[in-house]
């Protein structure tokens, strides 16, 4: 790619081309091999527009890049494309206390946004373990979920304005932060979840909500996912609002203990654990304690702990949030963030475990995720004695039985991480041929030359 004229027209230091930088910015958390041809680090929307216009005119492919914590390989530069990183665009305006909104540049991290809003008692309710690195642009491009979806929904619900730049360098200013605007197609919602294949998100106006004042965290051991689902059904009727309902299997807890030396106060002998965070609405913690007593009496739970202080809550959350990192450190992993209707999650997980008994696979299944959203993360972790080749063929054989099971249960091949590069070939399990035809037509109208994040999603 010849960027000479473009480089000369932008402030010095806007581009990087060292091999080390190109490898770093060209790959992401999935460790899929990638390397950028060059890296652009613009500071303004106008600079983004200039870069994209040049790329369009010179047929140069571009990969939009955020915090590179994506788990679908969406930000990987497989063919030495130009990586356009938003990391220098991280300015945030003052909170608008009338609209309860916040205007930010796309490169602000999720955590920076949380911290910025906190003093107003306000919250952008998308929260995920990668919060310190992932960016608002990446959160919106992937329509991130996270641990509070059960209470607040996905990222797409929390945006009232978006600025994005097309591959032709046109700056779109969408919706003007309006709460109500029924004037035709909703382009914001089309861009959210499009994984950098339609336009580059440069700014967003985020909708905020009041910070939950008092919360409690409960932690329970269980023999199987069906038993967790029984608690979940009871919790739906409890004297509180559920903020998060997560689960994980014993083997995940073992990995966290080994990698991060974080120990569970309940020990680690049960097959499964559930973590529930609740917001106290009516009454007080007495009502929760009474409810917990009833759960013990009805034998819905046999044991458990109630975390009241911030440090106790952090200790329990630390177990859940350390899982992705700990599994990654164990051995090569193949990750599947599937979803099924919540009512089917117990039978789906049981059927998945049955599938594993049928084959003699060279991997171990690590199960965890957002049970309350019907969104389990299935992680296949290579056995030490299995070769990489066998791991690959075994995973492919497992997919052949897993995806039809998902389809029969009305599930999706990606609950929240997106399609990116890694799940593109499975899309037909979740989308009909008619939907895929429309996907391609939409892609073509935004990006007629196929230059923006090529090879991803469609």
Ligand X SMILES: Cc1cc2nc3c(=O)[nH]c(=O)nc-3n(C[C@H](O)[C@H](O)[C@H](O)COP(=O)(O)OP(=O)(O)OC[C@H]3O[C@@H](n4cnc5c(N)ncnc54)[C@H](O)[C@@H]3O)c2cc1C
Minimum CB distance to ligand X smaller for 346 or for 420: 420
Q: Which whole-number Å values give the CA distances from 222 to 270, 297, 350, in the listed order?
A: 6, 16, 14
Q: How far is the CB of 182 from ligand X (least distance, A)?
A: 26
Q: How far is the CB of 126 from ligand X (least distance, A)?
A: 8
Please, which residue, 212 or 454, has the CB nearer to ligand X?
A: 454
Structure tokens at 52: 């994209």
Residues in contact with ligand X by CB under 6 A are: 28-29, 63-71, 74-75, 86, 106, 128-130, 134-135, 137-139, 141-142, 144-147, 195-196, 200-201, 324-325, 416-417, 420, 453, 456
**3-class SS shares of the chain: helix, strand, coil, % to 5:** 40, 20, 40
Q: How many whole angstroms separate alpha carbon 99 and alpha carbon 176?
A: 12
CB 93 within 8 A of CB 107: no
CB of 457 to ligand X, least distance (A): 8
**Residues 131, 111: Cα–Cα separation, whole Å:** 5
Q: Which is nearer to ligand X, 146 or 374 (CB)?
A: 146
Sheet holding 38-40, edge to edge: 15-16, 38-40, 82-85, 62-65
3-state secondary structure of 250: helix
Nearer to ligand X, 386 or 453 (CB): 453
Residue 295 vs 380, nearer CB to ligand X: 380
Closest by alpha carbon to 196, among 455, 452, 458, 442? 452
Tokens of 97: 């206390």
CB of 73 to ligand X, least distance (A): 8
SS3 label, residue 327: helix
**Among candidate residues 189, 208, 190, the one with its CA nearest the CA of residue 198:** 190
- In whole angstroms, the minimum distance from the beta carbon of 84 to ligand X comes to 8
CA gap 434, 74 in Å, rounded: 24
Asked if residue 196 lies in contact with residue 443, where contact means CB atoms within 8 angstroms, the answer is no
Name the minimum Å distance from CB 174 to ligand X. Answer: 13
CB of 131 to ligand X, least distance (A): 8
From residue 309, alpha-carbon distances to 58, 213, 220, 265 in Å are 58, 13, 17, 15
C-beta of 301 vs 342, nearer to ligand X: 342
Residue 104 or 141 with smaller CB distance to ligand X: 141
Which of residues 195 and 399 has its CB atom nearest to ligand X in the complex? 195
CB of 287 to ligand X, least distance (A): 29
**Residue 323 CB, nearest approach to ligand X (Å):** 8
Which residue, judged by CB position, is nearest to ligand X in the bound state?
138
DSSP label of 2? -
Cα→Cα distances 173→52, 77, 157, 188, Å: 16, 28, 18, 10
Q: Please, which residue, 63 or 95, has the CB nearer to ligand X?
A: 63
């Amino acid at each position: 790619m010849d960027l000479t004229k473009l480089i000369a027209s932008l402030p010095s230091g806007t581009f990087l081309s060292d091999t080390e930088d190109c490898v770093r910015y060209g790959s992401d958390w999935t460790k899929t091999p990638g390397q950028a041809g060059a890296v652009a680090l613009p500071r303004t929307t106008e600079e983004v527009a200039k870069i994209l216009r040049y790329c369009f005119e010179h047929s140069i492919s571009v990969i939009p890049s955020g915090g590179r914590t994506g788990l679908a390989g969406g930000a990987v530069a497989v063919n030495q494309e130009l990586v356009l990183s938003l990391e220098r665009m991280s300015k945030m305006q003052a909170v608008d206390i009338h609209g309860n909104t916040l205007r930010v540049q796309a490169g602000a991290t999720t955590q920076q946004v949380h911290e910025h809003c906190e003093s107003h008692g306000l919250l952008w309710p998308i929260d995920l373990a990668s919060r310190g690195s992932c960016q608002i642009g990446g959160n919106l491009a992937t329509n991130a979920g996270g641990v509070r979806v059960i209470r607040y929904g996905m990222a797409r619900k929390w945006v009232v304005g978006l600025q994005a730049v097309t591959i032709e360098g046109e700056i779109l200013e969408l919706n003007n932060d309006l709460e109500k605007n029924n004037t035709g197609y909703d382009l914001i919602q089309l861009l959210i979840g499009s994984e950098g294949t339609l336009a580059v998100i440069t700014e967003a106006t985020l909708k905020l909500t009041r910070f939950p004042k008092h919360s409690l965290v409960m932690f329970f051991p269980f023999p199987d996912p069906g038993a967790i689902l029984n608690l979940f059904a009871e919790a739906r009727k409890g004297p509180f609002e559920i903020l998060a309902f997560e689960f994980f299997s014993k083997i995940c807890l073992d990995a966290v203990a080994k990698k991060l030396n974080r120990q569970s106060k309940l020990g680690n002998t049960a097959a499964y654990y559930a973590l529930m965070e609740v917001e106290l609405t009516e009454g007080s913690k007495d009502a929760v304690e009474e409810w917990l007593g009833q759960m013990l009496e009805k034998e819905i739970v046999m044991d458990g702990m109630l975390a009241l202080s911030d440090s106790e809550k952090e200790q329990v959350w630390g177990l859940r949030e350390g899982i992705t990192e700990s599994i990654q450190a164990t051995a090569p992993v193949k990750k599947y963030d599937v979803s099924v209707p919540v009512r089917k999650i117990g039978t789906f997980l049981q059927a998945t475990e049955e599938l594993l008994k049928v084959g003699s696979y060279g991997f171990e299944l690590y199960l965890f995720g957002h049970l309350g959203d019907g969104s389990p993360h299935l992680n296949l972790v290579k056995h030490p004695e299995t070769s990489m080749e066998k791991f690959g063929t075994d995973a492919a054989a497992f997919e052949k039985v897993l995806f039809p099971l998902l389809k029969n249960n009305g599930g999706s091949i990606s609950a929240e991480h997106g399609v990116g590069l890694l799940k593109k070939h499975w899309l037909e399990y979740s989308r009909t041929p008619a939907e895929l035809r429309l996907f391609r037509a939409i892609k073509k109208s935004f990006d007629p030359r196929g230059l923006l994040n090529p090879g991803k999603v469609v």
